[in-house]
């Protein structure tokens, strides 16, 4: 019963990730994962097709083995780079005839918005409904099964991204032998990372990866703004490389094992030996010495995000900040951020067994997007668990 599995693919700058999931009550159950580190992607963009393809094939194979599911169709996520969100409206008129609304009506509305908004060098990645209006009267989240006589209208967000970026991602996945069922922008995916309260009150998701920090603001149940900056964990490692004259790979290991983002809380007793470039003699430092460097970079990165949110007049984030992505593994990042803002801060780690790492948030939320669009458009008619 292949149609009950949802496979999502995240082509990240440091690793390609695949998960095989299934709908489970209101959430997602993960039954297999794959992760393959690669140098074929930089800043969310495929820079080496051959390397990227072999990483995609490899991670899909791993996910296939661990889940026991044969994988040939995937949902692809796109990063929020060079992207734009527009809000738009569309309607269908029924001319007085009683019509029961179904998934096809919704799909045709979203499709016409997709065609309408396609322009210039930008391509539509995802069209997401904010709400529907039945007969110019009732505002609803899902109008299916309701009867309308006059019209069905939708207010929706349209996420556009750089056409070249999208075309190449799609080409690379297809040449890896996979069929893409749909493409979802992380801007939409992150909605599934927030709790109902956070998304209602106004919450910001910040995904700090290797080359990118992506962020999205949701309020009253819907996406309002999303963007990214080309800064992430790789720059932290670079800073350590320069500050302590150590090779990148060694700096990466040291960062992951001893790194701390909050100087005030970092340990100053443990001694860490750092290999040196062009020298046999290691030097000795403490985690606090590392934190001195790391904190500067993380603080600057977060300030850049806050400044951009302020420019967008997003000044009151009552639902709080939710930090995720691989760099959210860094000790002290929550405390540093809590020191910078008065709103609540939490680190998001997926709670699915076998995938409890913040770097899996994006790919797991892509599965959630797949499920929620399928339900809205009525692609899924059988449910094993009800």
Binding site for ligand ATP (CB under 6 A): 12-15, 44, 209-212, 232-234, 237, 252, 255-256, 259, 325-327, 329-330, 359
Residue 259 near which of Mg ion, ligand ATP, none (CB within 5-8 Å, type-dependent):
ligand ATP
- H or E element, residue 15: strand 15-24
Report whether 298 contacts 237 (CB < 8 A).
no
Cβ of 40: how many Cβ atoms within 10 Å? 20
Q: Indicate the Cα dihedral angle 245, 246, 248, 253, nearest 10°.
A: -140
Contact of residue 256 among Mg ion, ligand ATP, none (CB under 5-8 Å per partner type)? ligand ATP
Of 244, 240, 242, 245, residue with least CA distance to 278: 245
Place of tokens 């983002």: 261
Residue placing its CB nearer to Mg ion in the complex, 275 or 324: 324
Please, what is the minimum distance in Å from the beta carbon of residue 14 to Mg ion? 8
Residue 206 C-beta: closest distance to Mg ion, Å: 12
Enumerate helices (H) and strands (E) in the chain, giving the number of each: 10, 20
Residue 234 touches which of Mg ion, ligand ATP, none (Cβ within 5-8 Å per kind): ligand ATP
Angle between helix 163-175 and 49-67 (nearest 10):
60
Q: Give the count of beta carbons closer than 10 Å to the beta carbon of residue 108.
A: 13
CB of 257 to ligand ATP, least distance (A): 7
The single residue listed with the structure tokens 């599995």 is 5
Interface residues toward Mg ion, by CB under 5 A:
12, 209
Query: Of 275 and 362, which has the nearer Cβ to Mg ion?
Result: 362
* Closer residue to ligand ATP, CB minimum distance, 23 or 352: 352
Q: CB nearer to ligand ATP: give 176 or 329.
A: 329
**CB of 83 vs ligand ATP, minimal distance in Å:** 14
> Closest CB to ligand ATP belongs to which residue?
326
**327 interacts with, out of Mg ion, ligand ATP, none, CB within 5 to 8 A per kind:** ligand ATP
Smaller CB distance to ligand ATP: residue 199 or 330?
330
**C-beta of 53: minimal distance to ligand ATP in Å?**
16
Q: Which is nearer to ligand ATP, 301 or 309 (CB)?
A: 301
Question: Taking the complex as a whole, how short is the minimal distance between the CB of residue 13 and ligand ATP, in angstroms?
Answer: 3
Give the shortest CB-252-to-ligand ATP separation in angstroms.
Answer: 6
Compare residues 32 and 325 and give the one whose CB is closer to ligand ATP. Answer: 325
Per-residue burial over 125-149, b if 16 or more Cβ lie within 10 Å, else e, is bbbbbbbbbbeeeeeeeebbeeebe
Decide which of Mg ion, ligand ATP, none touches 332; Cβ closer than 5 to 8 Å per partner kind: none
Closest listed residue to residue 321, CA positions, set 216, 166, 177: 216
Nearer to ligand ATP, 57 or 116 (CB): 57
* CB of 44 vs ligand ATP, minimal distance in Å: 5
Q: 3-state SS of the chain: helix, strand, coil percent to 5?
A: 40, 35, 30
> DSSP characters for 309-346?
HHHTT----TTEEEEESGGGGSBTHHHHHHHH-SS-EE
- Write the DSSP assignment of 149-194 as a string of letters: SSEEEEEEEEEEEEHHHHHHHHHHHHHTT-EEEEEEEHHHHGGGTS
State the minimum distance, in angstroms, from the CB of residue 330 to ligand ATP. Answer: 4
Strands 151-162 and 83-93, bridge-based pairing: antiparallel
Smaller CB separation from ligand ATP, 126 or 327: 327
């Amino acid at each position: 019963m292949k149609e009950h599995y949802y496979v999502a693919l995240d082509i990240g700058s440091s690793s390609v990730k695949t998960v095989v999931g299934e709908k489970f009550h209101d959430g997602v159950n993960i039954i297999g994962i794959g992760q393959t580190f690669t140098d074929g992607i930089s800043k969310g963009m495929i820079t080496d097709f051959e390397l990227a393809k072999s990483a995609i094939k490899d991670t899909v194979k791993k996910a296939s083995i661990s889940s026991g599911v044969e994988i040939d169709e995937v949902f692809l996520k796109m990063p929020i780079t060079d992207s734009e969100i527009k809000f738009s409206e569309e309607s269908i008129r029924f001319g007085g005839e009683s019509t029961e609304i179904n998934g096809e009506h919704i799909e045709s509305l979203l499709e016409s918005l997709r065609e309408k908004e396609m322009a210039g060098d930008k391509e539509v990645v995802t069209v997401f409904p904010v709400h529907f209006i039945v007969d110019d009267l009732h505002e609803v989240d899902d109008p299916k099964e309701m009867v309308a006589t006059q019209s069905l209208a939708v207010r929706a967000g349209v996420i556009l991204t750089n056409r070249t970026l999208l075309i190449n991602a799609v080409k690379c996945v297809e040449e890896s032998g996979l069929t893409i069922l749909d493409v979802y922008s992380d801007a939409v995916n992150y909605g599934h990372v927030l709790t109902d309260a956070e998304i209602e009150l106004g919450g910001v998701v910040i995904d700090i990866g290797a080359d990118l920090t992506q962020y999205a603001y949701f309020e009253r149940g819907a996406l309002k703004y999303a963007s990214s900056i080309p800064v992430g964990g790789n720059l932290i490692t670079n800073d350590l490389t320069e500050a302590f004259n150590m090779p990148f790979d060694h700096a990466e290991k040291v960062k992951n094992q001893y790194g701390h983002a909050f100087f005030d809380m970092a340990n100053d007793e443990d001694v860490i030996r750092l290999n040196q470039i062009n020298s046999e003699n290691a030097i000795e430092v403490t985690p606090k010495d590392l934190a001195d460097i790391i904190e500067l970079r993380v603080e600057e990165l977060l300030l850049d995000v806050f400044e951009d949110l302020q420019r967008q007049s997003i000044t009151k984030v009552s639902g709080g900040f939710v930090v995720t992505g691989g760099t959210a593994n860094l000790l002290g990042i929550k405390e540093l951020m809590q020191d910078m803002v008065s709103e609540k801060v939490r680190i998001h780690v997926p709670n699915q067994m076998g995938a409890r790492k913040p770097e899996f948030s994006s790919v797991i939320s892509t599965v959630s997007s797949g499920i929620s669009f399928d339900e809205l458009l009525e692609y899924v008619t059988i449910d094993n668990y009800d």
